[in-house]
Amino acid sequence: MRLLVVEDDDAIAVPLIEGLQRAGYTTSRAATGAGALTQAPDADLILLDLGLPDIDGSAVCRSIRAVSEVPIIVVSARSDESERVLAFELGADDYVVKPFGFRELVARIGAVSRRTNSVADPARPQSVGALNIDRRARKTVVDGNEVALTPKEFDLLAILAEDPGAVVSRNDIMAEVWDTHWYGPTKTLDVHVASLRKKLGDPAWVETVRGVGFRLRAG
């Protein structure tokens, strides 16, 4: 996934971009509204600050949304409800108030991406390299051989396969595969990941992104 970080403050942009790159995202930056409008067509998701030096971020959001459906997450120090409401009315998909936790931001990126990007048709099997996933039949095949997965293992694989190569946070996986009210140990997730890797026959299928979550190898 190609992220565009629209942020004029180096003290925020530089460590943020470094963290996103460590999390596996291809990241570019625009320090002005004009730069954001120029680079927006090449982005898969935009992190947009509102306090830009040339054009207000709200106007940038409006201009991008007028010509593109690219997901936009506003990242701003403006915490008033009226600012959040305006951003959503202009087409933003989410709103994060500074200061923010990096892991929360990555989780929101994953959630927005899954909501807005087209996902494989569940009525049709999906192929990722030698891996074939049939959501309707809940069948998994690797190199032509069917793999017997538990319901949770299949759900875990399915969420990772929605966007191969993209990182899915631990919190998002726990919320979607288990439920939002899960209070059991998060070690449960690691146990299921280990079992899934073993059954797929190659641990490299499911990659760990330390401190963030997991991703499915993109083929």
31 and 85 share a domain? yes
Mean pLDDT of the region 184-213? 88
> Does the pLDDT value for residue 122 go beyond 70?
no
User: How many structural domains is the chain composed of?
Assistant: 2
**In which domain, by residue range, is 172 found?**
126-216
53 touches 60 (CB < 8 A):
no
Q: How large is the average pLDDT for residues 129-137?
A: 90
Where helices occur in 40-179 by DSSP H, the ranges are 57-67, 81-89, 102-116, 151-161, 170-173
Torsion of CA 175, 150, 210, 183, to 10 degrees: 40
Q: Residues 36-61: pLDDT tens digits?
A: 999 999 999 999 999 999 999 999 99
Tell me the whole-structure pTM to 2 decimals.
0.60
CATH number of the CATH domain containing 144: 1.10.10.10
Domain match, 111 and 143 both: no
Name the helix (H) or strand (E) containing 2.
Answer: strand 2-6
Could you read off the pLDDT of 65-119 as tens digits, one per residue? 988 889 999 999 998 989 999 999 999 989 999 998 898 899 889 888 877 654 4
pLDDT at 30: 97
Could you report the per-residue pLDDT of 142-188, keeping only the tens digit for each? 999 999 999 889 999 999 998 888 888 888 888 788 764 555 556 78
Domain closes at, from 63, 84, 116: 116
121 falls within a domain? no
Q: Rounded to an integer, what distance in angstroms lies between the CA atom of residue 88 and that of residue 134?
A: 35
Q: What is the pLDDT of residue 116?
A: 66
pLDDT > 90 fraction of the chain, expressed in percent and rounded:
59
How wide is the angle at C-alpha 162 spanned by C-alphas 157 and 166, nearest 5°? Answer: 95
Please compute the mean of the pLDDT values over residues 127-149 and round it to a whole number. 92
Query: Rounded mean pLDDT of 186-209?
Result: 91
Q: What pLDDT, on a 0 to 100 scale, did the predictor assign at position 219?
A: 67
Last residue of a domain, one of 84, 116, 148: 116
Position 111 scores a pLDDT of 82
Give me the amino acid identity at 95. Y
Same domain flag for 15 and 82: yes
Residue 110 lies in a domain: yes
| 106 & 166 share domain | no
Measured between alpha carbons, how far is 3 from 29 in angstroms, rounded to an integer?
Answer: 8
| Per-residue confidence (pLDDT) for residue 126, from 0 to 100 | 86
Lowest-pLDDT choice from 119-133, 179-193, 194-208? 179-193
Mean pLDDT of 193-197: 94
Task: Look at residue 118 in the predicted model and tell me its pLDDT.
Answer: 46
CATH number, position 93:
3.40.50.2300
Tokens of 172: 């998002």
- pLDDT given for residue 24 in this prediction: 86
Taking the alpha carbons at both ends of the chain, their separation in whole angstroms is 15
The stretch 9-13 carries a mean pLDDT of: 95
Q: Which residues contact 49 (CB under 8 A, 6 or more apart)?
A: 6, 7, 8, 9, 12, 57, 74, 75, 76
